[in-house]
Structure 1
Amino acid sequence: MTSDHWQTIKALPQASLNQLFNEDDNRVANFGMEHAGLYFDFSKTHLDLAAVAAFQKLADDVGLSVKVKALLSGEPINISEGRAAEHCAERGIGNAASVGHAKALHQRMKGLIEVIDSGALGEFTQIIHLGIGGSALGPKMLHQALKLGDEKYDLAVVSNIDGVALEPVLERFDAGKTLLVIASKTFTTAETLLNAQTVLDWMREQGVADPLGQVVALTADPDQAVSWGVDETRILPFSETVGGRYSLWSSIGFSVALALGYDVFEDLLAGAAAMDEHFRDTPWAENIPVLAAFADQYYTQVRGCETRAVFAYDERLNLLPDYLQQLEMESNGKSVTLDGQPLSLHSSPIVWGGVGTDAQHAVFQLLHQGTHLVPVEFLAVIEPGNSLSPAHHNGLLLNCFAQGAALMAGKKSDDSHRNYPGDRPSVTILLEDLDARTLGALLAFYEQRTFVNASLLNINPFDQFGVELGKQMAGKLAAEDGNRLDASTEELKKRAFGA
C-alpha cells in the first residue's frame, strides 16, 4: 500500500528554481554538502526545506532507519533469495564476522599479488580479465579512472561474447606473459567461460605448455572453479552475499589491485568506508545519499521524469554512466514490492549519459529545448588529470558549471526557435581530485543512494531475476530438442544459421 506521505509530497507547491533561490539567501549553504573529498550541490533541484521535511516523514514511515541498520548489520534483506547484501562488509562496515571474513580474503588476495609481483608464477606483464556485468564493468571502470600510464601490467578487461572484443587483445598480447583472470560469481557464466576457453586455446597455439597454470579465478564457488581446472591456490573466493554489481570491493577487484597496486585498492575501500559511515551516522536532512534519493523520487513520482542523465566532465570517468546504468537499473528496475504486490509507483528511471564537453554538441539540445524534463547530474574534478596548458582544464570546468546555470536560468526570446524555457534541474558533484579514495566514496554514495530509493519504493534492490529470462531463451534457441519459440524469432534464427 502506498504511504499517505506520497500524497503530501505530490501536493507541495511547485516553485521554480529561480523562485527558490530568490526566497532563500542560504539556499546554496542549505543544499550544498561536503564529505570525503566530494562536494555535492543540490541547490539547483526543486527540493526545498518543506519537501525535505515531507520526505523525512516518508522515510520514517517506511522504516528507512531500520532498513539501513539491517543492511549494515548483515541481516537477510535480500528476501527473494534469502540472504544478506554484504558489500559494505568488504569495506569494514557490517557484521563483525563478515567483516573479519572479508579482511581475511583481502589478505589472501594481497598475498597472491605479492607472489605474482615477485615473478614466482611467471614473468607476467599483461593481464586479461574476463567477466560480464559487475564482474567486468566495475574493474574496467576503476582501471580507466585510476590508471596513470606507467603501470607494471597492461590490463585488458573483456566482457562481450562477441569475438570482436577479444580478438584484438589476443593479437597484441604475448601468450607467455599473459595472466588470465576469470571472474564469475558462480563460475558457470556462459559468455565468460567461452571467452576463457578461447584464451586457453590461444595460449596452447602460441606454445604455452600449461595454460591453466596462468589462470586466476575470482568466484563465490571455488569448488566449481576447481572442477573447471583452476588450481585451488590460485582461486580467490568472495562471499555469496556480495552481489555482482556490488562486487568490485571483493576479490573481483583483484585485477585492478594487481595492475595499479594493492595500496590503491586499500584506498578505494577506505574512501567507500568513509561514505558508509556518513550514511550510517548522519540525520536524513544532512545525509548525502538520502538527500539525493529524495531528489530522485521527487522527479520520478512528482514530475513524472522517466530518465536521469549523468555527464562526467572528465575523460577518466567516461565509463561511469555505464556503471551506473547497471547499478541503478538492475537494482531498482522492479515492478513488485517486497511482499510481491504490484508496485504502484514508478521504479528506477532510465539512466543515461556521456562525457562533457562532447555531450554538449550532441544531446544537450534536448536537455535545453526538448519537451522532456530530464534531471541532470554533472561530475567534475578540481585537479586536472593532465599536464597540458591549464586552459584545457579551466575550459572543461567552466563549460560544466555553465551548463547547469543555463539549464536553470534559460533565456527568453521573442523568436520561439531561440527561446530556452529554463527551470531545468541539475546536481553537480565536485571531486577535489580523482584518486582511489574519492572514487571509492563516490561509488559508495551511488550504492547507498540506490538502496535508499529502493527502501522508499519498498522493493528489493538485490535480486535481478529479469536478467535470467533472456539467458534461458538463448539456451532454448541453442538446443536441438525440437522446442520452438515465436515465429519471428524462428525466422531470424533460420536466416542467420540456415534451415
Structure 2
Amino acid sequence: MNEIAPSPGWQALIDHRRALAGRSLTALFAANPQRFAQLSLAWDDWLADWSKQRLTAETMALLVAYARERNLPAWIAAMFAGEKINLSEQRPALHTALRQQGDAPLAVDGADVIPAIRTVQARMRMLATQLRGGARLGATGRPIRYAINLGIGGSHLGPRLVCDVLAGPRAGRGDGIDVAFVSNVDPEHLSRALAGADPATTLFVVVSKSFTTQETLKNATSAREWLAAQLGGGPALGAHFIAVTANAAAARAFGVAGTDVLPMWDWVGGRFSLWSAAGLAIAIRCGWESFAELSAGAAAMDAHFRDTPLPRNLPALLALVDFWNAQASGMGQRVVVPYAHALSRLPAYLQQLVLESNGKSVMRDGAPSSRPTAPALWGEPGTDSQHALFQWLHQGMHAVPVEFIVPVRAAHPLSDQQALLVANALAQAQALMTGRPLAAVRAQLAAKGVAPDAIDRDAPHRVCPGDRPSTMLLLPELNARRLGQLLALYEHRTFVEGALYGINSFDQWGVELGKALAEPLIAAVRDGVDSAGADASTRSLVAHVRTLSRRV
C-alpha cells in the first residue's frame, strides 16, 4: 500500500489548516493569553518556543494524533531496540548505542554490540591521550604535533563542527597539538592544510567506512606522497596514519598498521558517525573528557526522546512543527540561524543530516510520495546574517520559517557583548512576527518632521509585512554536554520527520548516482578517454575542459 495514503488524521490537519487561513500571528496571540505557555517546552534548562509559528494548541493536538496514527511511538521503540529500520539496506540505525552510558546489552543479529563499542572507545582514548601527551612518535622519532582529518560528509562535517565549538581560543590550550580537516578533492584544500606543516610531526586520520571513498582516498594518497618526498617511503610512514573504516584489509594494504585501524559498523550511517571512531579527531583536539561529555549530553537527549510521551517530547514536538510547515503549509524552505559564532558550521552539518536523510521522493514501500518531503535548509550565524539574508526574510516574497538557536551564557564573556547577541536574536524573532506596517512607518517619519510628499515617496519602502513564523531555542550555554544534546535533538527530529513522511531516513541512494557517473568522466577529463556515453552537453564541456587543460 502507499505509505502516505489519505487518512482521517491527515484530513483533520487539512481541515484545520483551512480554518487557520487568514489569521495572523499577532491575532493568534491576542486571542489566547496562554499561547506561549501552550506552545513552548522547558527541558533541562532549555526552553523551546514555537508560539510564533502559524499554529495553535489545537494544531499540536492534531499533529500528535497524526503521529500516533503513523505509528511514531513504535518506530522510536524499534530504533532503540536495534530493529532493522533501514529497510532498503536491511540494517539497524544504532548511533544511539555509541553514546549509551551503561553496559546494558543490545543485540544486533544475536550479538551484543556494547562490548565491541567499549573496546573501540578504549582505543580511541589511548590514541588521543598519546597524541595529546606527545607520546606518539613519527618516522623520525619526533612526537606528532599536528593531525589532519581526511574524510567527507559525516566523516568531516560532524567532527569539524564539534571541534569548532569545543576547542576554544588557541591561547587557552596547553596540549600543543593542532587538528585540521580536509574533505574536498580540490587540491587547494589539502595544499592549504599542508602549507607550513612539518612532515616529521604530522599525522593523518583517514576516515572512510568503505576505504574506497574517492575524495578521501585521493587525499590520503597525496598525503602519503607528501610524506614520502620528505621522509622517504617504506613501512615507517605507517606511524603517520590512523584509519577509521569497516574495511580493515584495505587500510592495512594502504600502509596503516593493524593496531592503528579503528573499526566502523554498517549500522552507523555516515551522518551519524561522529559518535563513533570517526570522532577521533574530536578526542585528539578537545580531549577524551570532552568527547565523553559530548556523548553523555546526547545520551540524555536520547533518554528523553525514548521515554517521554509525545505531548512533552521535545524532539518529537519540534519535528511536528517542521512537518506542519513542510507538508500542511507547503513551505519549501527552512532557515537555521545560530546566534553563536562557534556554531557557524551548524547549517552545513544540518544540511547533510536533514537533506541526505529526508531529501527523497520514494516511500518506504517503494511508492512515489504524493506530498513534499524535506524542505531546503540553509542559514548563517547571527548577528552576521542580519546584514545579509534577513533583508530577504523581512521584506522578500517568501514567508520562510526561521529557527533561532541561542546560548544564553557566553563561553568567553567580553563586557556586555553576550547581552547584545541574545537581544538581537529576540528582536529579530519579534520583528519577523510583528513587522512594520505602513501606518507605523508614516507616523515615525512624521514624528521626525519629514515632509508629507517625502513620506508618500519613502514610506512604502520601509514596510515589513511581518507574520513570518519562527522557533526559538534557548540553551543555557554552549559546552560539550549541551552540544551533545543539541546534535541529538536534531538527529531525532530528522528521524521523526522521516517517519511522518513515510520514508527511510537512513539510506542515500541519490548520492551514489553522481559517484557512478563521475567514474567514466574522470578518465575523459584526465586522460582524454572517449566520453561517448555522456549526453551532448557533458561531452562538449569535457572537450572544453581538455582544451583549457592543455594550455597550462
* TM over 0.5, shorter chain: yes
Q: Report deviation, 1:420.
A: 1.6
Matched, 1:9 2:53: no
Distance, in Å, in 1 between the alignment partners of 2:34 and 2:152 is: 46
Note the C-alpha offset of 1:229. Answer: 2.1
Aligned position for 1:440: 484
1:22 paired to 2:30? yes
Residue matched to 2:146:
126
Residue 89 of structure 2 is aligned to residue 64 of structure 1:
no
Gaps of 5+ in 2: 138-142, 440-458, 524-528
Cα distance in 1 for partners of 2:475, 2:232 equals: 45
Equivalence map 1:238-387=2 (5 Å) = 238-387=264-413
Q: Displacement of 1:357 after TM fit?
A: 1.1
Identify the match of residue 541 of structure 2 among 485, 492, 495: 492
1:460 aligned to 2:504? yes
- Give the AA of the match of 2:300: A
Q: Distance in 2 between matches of 1:375 and 1:217?
A: 41
CA distance in 1, matches of 2:503, 2:433: 32
CA gap 1:42/1:208 in 2 versus in 1, 3 angstroms? farther
Other-structure match for 1:103: 118
- For the 8 Å contact 2:129–2:288, the answer to whether it is kept is no
Q: CA deviation at 1:484?
A: 2.5
Distance 1:152 1:121 in 2: 13
Shift of 1:218: 0.8
Q: CA deviation at 1:20?
A: 2.5
Letter in 1 for 2:218: L
Q: TM-score, normalised by structure 1?
A: 0.96
Aligned residue identity for 1:49:
A
Give the count of matched residue pairs. 498
Q: Is the 8 A contact 2:129 2:287 kept in 1?
A: no
Q: Deviations over 1:35-89 (max 9, x none)?
A: 2443211121123221111111111111111100111110000010011111011
Equivalent residues of 1:36, 1:271 under 8 A apart: no
Change (3 A) 1:224 1:264: same
Q: Give me the whole-angstrom Cα distance separating, in 2, the residues matched to 1:2 and 1:457.
A: 12
CA distance in structure 1 between the aligned counterparts of 2:468 and 2:262, rounded to whole angstroms: 47
332-341 vs 413-422, which moves further? 413-422
The yes-or-no answer on 1:473 pairing with 2:497 is no
Deviation at 1:114, TM superposition (A): 2.9
- 1:423-446 deviations in Å (ceiling 9; x for gaps): 111111112111010000000000
Q: CA deviation at 1:419?
A: 1.9
Does residue 46 (structure 1) correspond to residue 66 (structure 2)? The answer is: no
Where 1:428 maps in the other structure, the secondary structure is strand
Which residue of structure 1 aligns with residue 526 of structure 2?
A: none
Could you tell me how far apart the structure 2 residues matched to 1:223 and 1:419 are?
64
Distance 1:6 1:207 in 2: 65
Describe the SS at the equivalent of 1:354: coil
| Aligned partner of residue 195 in structure 2, secondary structure | helix
Contact 2:275 2:295 (C-alpha < 8 Å) held by counterparts: yes
Pick from 403, 407, 414: which aligns with 2:428? 403
Is the counterpart of residue 394 in structure 1 residue 414 in structure 2?
no
Give the secondary-structure state (helix, strand or coil) at the position aligned to 2:380: strand
* Helix, strand or coil at the partner of 2:473: strand
Aligned equivalents of 1:447 and 1:212: distance in 2? 35
Paired with 2:356 and 2:243, the residues of 1 have a C-alpha distance of: 25
TM-score (norm 2): 0.87
Quote the RMSD (CA, aligned, Å). Answer: 1.6
User: 1:235 & 1:176 partners in 2: Cα distance?
Assistant: 21
Counterpart of 2:145, as a letter, is T
Aligned to 2:466: 422
Aligned match of 2:229 in 202, 205, 210? 205
Give secondary structure in 1 for the equivalent of 2:422: helix
Unpaired segments ≥5 residues, structure 1: none
Q: Distance in 2 between matches of 1:160 and 1:2?
A: 43
Per-residue deviation, 1:483: 4.3
Kept after mapping to 1: 8 A contact 2:149/2:182: yes
CA contact (8 A) 1:134 1:248 kept: yes
Mapped to 1, the partners of 2:199 and 2:89 lie a distance apart of 40
Structure 2 CA distance for aligned equivalents of residues 348 and 99 of structure 1: 33
Q: Once the two structures are superposed, what CA deviation does each residue of 1:374-426 show, in whole Å capped at 9, x if it has no partner?
A: 00001111111334222x22211111110000111112115332222211111
Q: Residues 342-361 of structure 1, C-alpha deviation per residue, up to 9 Å, x if partnerless?
A: 10111101000001111111
Moved more, 257-266 or 380-389: 380-389
Distance 1:386 1:120 in 2: 31
Q: Which amino acid aligns with 1:107?
A: A
Q: Alpha carbons of 1:497 and 1:109: their partners in 2 closer, same or farther (altered >3 Å)?
A: same
Query: What corresponds to 1:412 in structure 2?
Result: 437
